[in-house]
Structure 1
């Protein structure tokens, strides 16, 4: 399994597991099923004939057709922007788009990534449509091969590049990563963090999900029974593993802060 190592501004190294071709194909198929379902529903259940009659000329009718298909045309772009680097397909496949430096891509990055789908998936399809419109029926087999080949450009790009990137990823400086097990992650959450929450200890990302879960369980048990010796041992172990030195007034405050910071970084990286 390929991995990407990112060095944060706090000089802490984070390893991301890159999404493989299987994860990305699953997301691709799910998203395309959603697109086809939209087209089917539009064609099957909505009668646009009156609007076409009102539009009258062919240019207005074409403009109406374009308007109808805008939601699926920009589906990947607005989904990744609104869902923090994911589409519905990516959510189901548990993968996510991030910047190669480990941060959330900017709107420009998402836009570049979306625009380059023309090359990754649709360039030869556009050639196919243009050639077919010219009446080149005698080359129909070749045209269909071009149509199918256009869908494979991104596929082979993911297979052959160092960080499993398609051309859109290379252009936008993004990668697609595999997310941690959502079930395991949920056990590490103590409470929902406020939007304005500011973390203090960046090195908590040296902990694993299992570390955080053990810390949480031990912390809750020791605090409930007022087992201060265990809290001291727990604080010492955290400092040893992460290299953090407590800046809090008590061990309880420190461990609570560590768990919250861990949640913050694992939710936002």
Structure 2
């Protein structure tokens, strides 16, 4: 499964699953059916009101939907169309920044080459062969399409679903002195340590434990096996004390 590591504006590295080709095709089909439905509905209305400018209605409504649907949707829905939303896909910048309207515009301009003029063959070739699953429009705008479910990006809702506050017995009262960003960072490091169980991620975990202890002025030693539990308990107690 292809993935991309994005460094966010908070300098937190998060691993996302790159959208698979099949998911992208399904999202395209859903969006196409929506556009087709708009065409059919507008055609019916144009036929009904043909004597009072039905043709004008078709060109003023149906054509803009066909031409600008993807561009307008990605701008309004923050990198998603209805099809992408249904498949849990989203457009992101590979450098971790939020895409700008100009990025969506570039993707839209090259959509004509990627999909329509080549019947999708150029898009398929680039997605299948590029490092981050990028079609030509993505490469030009430095974007890619990621899958945001189930779980690349961690939120407090994800944490709280697994933790009933009433059942938590607080161990570390000082956990409340941490910030939201620090707790999310701890959660992300734990997730990556579990997924990539190697020496590099163990060293990152050790460094994080040291920084938490330093910030909170803690002076006690932890065995290797206790460090993960220390961080998990810190997250759990923070939620109990601040939510």
Q: Is 1:92 the equivalent of 2:86?
A: yes
Describe the SS at the equivalent of 2:19: coil
Q: Is 1:245 the equivalent of 2:191?
A: no
Greater Rg, structure 1 or structure 2?
A: 1
User: What is the alpha-carbon distance in structure 1 between the residues aligned to residue 92 and residue 242 of structure 2?
Assistant: 23
Match of 1:255 in 2: 238
Match of 1:5 in 2: 5
Please report how far the alpha carbon of residue 256 of structure 1 lies from its aligned counterpart in structure 2 after TM superposition: 3.7
Contact 2:29 2:83 (8 Å CA) reproduced: yes
Please report how far the alpha carbon of residue 91 of structure 1 lies from its aligned counterpart in structure 2 after TM superposition: 0.8
Q: How many residues align?
A: 196
Q: What is the root-mean-square deviation in Å for CA atoms of aligned residues?
A: 3.8
User: What is the alpha-carbon distance in structure 2 between the residues aligned to residue 71 and residue 4 of structure 1?
Assistant: 32
1:21-100 map, 5 Å = 21-46=21-46, 47-52=48-53, 66-68=59-61, 69-100=63-94
Please report how far the alpha carbon of residue 13 of structure 1 lies from its aligned counterpart in structure 2 after TM superposition: 2.0
Q: Is 1:104 the equivalent of 2:98?
A: yes
User: What is the alpha-carbon distance in structure 1 between the residues aligned to residue 7 and residue 89 of structure 2?
Assistant: 21
Q: Runs of 5+ in structure 2 lacking a partner?
A: 191-204, 217-233
What TM-score, normalized by structure 1, do the two folds share? Answer: 0.60
Please report how far the alpha carbon of residue 41 of structure 1 lies from its aligned counterpart in structure 2 after TM superposition: 0.7
Please report how far the alpha carbon of residue 173 of structure 1 lies from its aligned counterpart in structure 2 after TM superposition: 0.7
Match of 2:140 in 1: 171
Return closer, same or farther for 1:52/1:19 CA change in 2, 3 Å cut-off: same
What TM-score, normalized by structure 2, do the two folds share? Answer: 0.66
Please report how far the alpha carbon of residue 153 of structure 1 lies from its aligned counterpart in structure 2 after TM superposition: 1.8
